[in-house]
Amino acid sequence: MFFLTPVLVAVLCILVVWIFKNADRNIQRKKGEPGARTKSRAWVDEDLRDSTYLHQAEEDADEWQESEENVEHIPFSHTRYPEKEMTKRSQEFYELLNKRRSVRFISNEQIPMEVIDNVIKAAGTAPSGAHTEPWTFVVVKDPDVKHEIRKIVEEEEEINYMKRMGHRWVTDLKKLRTNWIKDYLDSAPVLILIFKQVHGFAANGKKTVHYYNEISVSIACGILLAALQVHKGVTAQHETSGHPICSRVMEEAV
């Protein structure tokens, strides 16, 4: 492909998302909150919208081991650099991340799987609601699977452009000159698919709530992008090749 030269490559950061289910998002608003703040509402209400969770709550109430109540807090310790070093490190990190770009042509050059593993492990250190870690990372290298993914993405994206998202969205994207053709899903040697788990399962098979799961997964994506950038250099003057990873956020079908 004409544009797929070694310098026309990097991490892809345009997030395209599918939802494979049409869960009812109508929220049962709770009435009677006190005082002037009656309009406030916590996002987690949406995570609780499946009423089966609420029915299980009563019976689950006693599952937690009371013995854990007496566990001591663990002191947290870490290095604290002198102020000058602290400032220098924060400056260098900003400059490194500021070199990241969202691109639409990606090199097919290979990358060690150990790097992919480390990047995903770094993303997995993200905080999450009630420490539920509601994410699944899937690494795809097989050309046929990548191509199948591309076909699904392009089919969905074409619907976005042609009808789903409306005239306004198409207009807003016009200056970015994007479209639904995603060559890079074939050319990138590695795709990292990121799924959010909208709920989990307890040992007894019951559903567990994943609070703030979309926010948690997105935070993990931010850390993943930072990790991808870190194993590249801070200078951009003598490179010979590009970065072959494409990150996309997708919702897990449940």
Q: H-type helices in 80-212, by residue range?
A: 83-97, 113-123, 143-159, 166-174, 184-187
Residue 68 lies near a copy of itself (rule: CB under 8 A) = yes
Question: Around Cβ 93, how many Cβ atoms within 10 Å?
Answer: 14
Residue 147 lies near a copy of itself (rule: CB under 8 A) = no
Smallest separation (angstroms) from a copy of itself to the CB of 138: 18
Residue 179 lies near a copy of itself (rule: CB under 8 A) = no
Question: 14-18, long-range: CB within 8 Å, 24+ apart, which pairs?
Answer: 14/102, 14/104, 14/178, 15/221, 15/248, 15/249, 16/153, 16/156, 16/157, 16/248, 16/249, 16/250, 17/249, 17/250, 17/251, 18/152, 18/156, 18/250, 18/251
Based on CB atoms, which residue is closest to a copy of itself, 38 or 142?
38
Write out the two tokens for 33.
């909150």
Residue 8 lies near a copy of itself (rule: CB under 8 A) = yes
Binding residue (CB under 8 A) for a copy of itself from 41, 141, 147, 151: 41
Q: Mask of contacts with a copy of itself, 81-120, x by CB under 8 A?
A: x-x--xx-xxx-xx--xxxxxxx-x-----xx-xx--xx-
Residue 226 lies near a copy of itself (rule: CB under 8 A) = yes
- Count of residues interacting with a copy of itself (CB under 8 A): 132
Residue 31 lies near a copy of itself (rule: CB under 8 A) = no
Binding residue (CB under 8 A) for a copy of itself from 138, 139, 165, 193: 165
Smallest separation (angstroms) from a copy of itself to the CB of 85: 8
Torsion sign over Cα 236, 10, 106, 14: negative
Residue 22 lies near a copy of itself (rule: CB under 8 A) = yes
